[in-house]
């Protein structure tokens, strides 16, 4: 069976495994890193942006738990994956290096 042929039940089961990992990663980040960025004068917006993006991902996860129709489920998963991918890229390439420079200094 190709992955495209997975049933909605299989997709929901995979999502059920993935969602807690996403939340387990996001909550400590919000409580530590984003909190610190919001306390830095020139990184407040980035900290808030992180909170907002996590909030949107949470919202989409909640919608996915209630979505029963296959095409809609697939479309929402695709949007969630694109959002998370963009978010991770931004964190790793922009936010984290900037935060390190401001808090640790350049080594």
Residues that bind Fe ion (CB under 5 A): 29, 91
State which residue, 29 or 58, has the beta carbon closest to Fe ion.
29
What is the nearest approach in angstroms of Fe ion to the Cβ of residue 91?
5
Q: What are phi and psi of 2, to 5 degrees?
A: -75, 155
What is the nearest approach in angstroms of Fe ion to the Cβ of residue 86?
11
What is the nearest approach in angstroms of Fe ion to the Cβ of residue 20?
15
State which residue, 8 or 22, has the beta carbon closest to Fe ion.
22
What is the nearest approach in angstroms of Fe ion to the Cβ of residue 70?
29
State which residue, 72 or 88, has the beta carbon closest to Fe ion.
88
Report residue 107 as tokens: 């080594």
- Characterise 105 by phi-psi region: left (phi > 0), alpha (psi -120 to 50), beta (else): left
What SS3 class is residue 107? coil
What SS3 class is residue 40? coil
CA dist., res. 39 & res. 44, Å (int): 6
State which residue, 33 or 70, has the beta carbon closest to Fe ion.
33
């Amino acid at each position: 069976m190709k992955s495209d042929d997975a049933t909605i039940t299989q997709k929901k089961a995979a999502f059920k495994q993935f969602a807690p990992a996403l939340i387990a990663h996001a909550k400590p980040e919000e409580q530590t890193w984003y909190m610190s960025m919001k306390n830095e004068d020139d990184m407040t917006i980035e900290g808030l942006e992180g909170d907002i993006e996590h909030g949107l991902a949470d919202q989409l996860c909640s919608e996915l738990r209630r979505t029963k129709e296959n095409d809609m489920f697939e479309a929402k998963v695709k949007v969630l994956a694109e959002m998370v991918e963009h978010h991770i890229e931004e964190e790793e390439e922009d936010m984290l290096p900037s935060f390190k420079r401001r808090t640790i200094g350049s080594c």
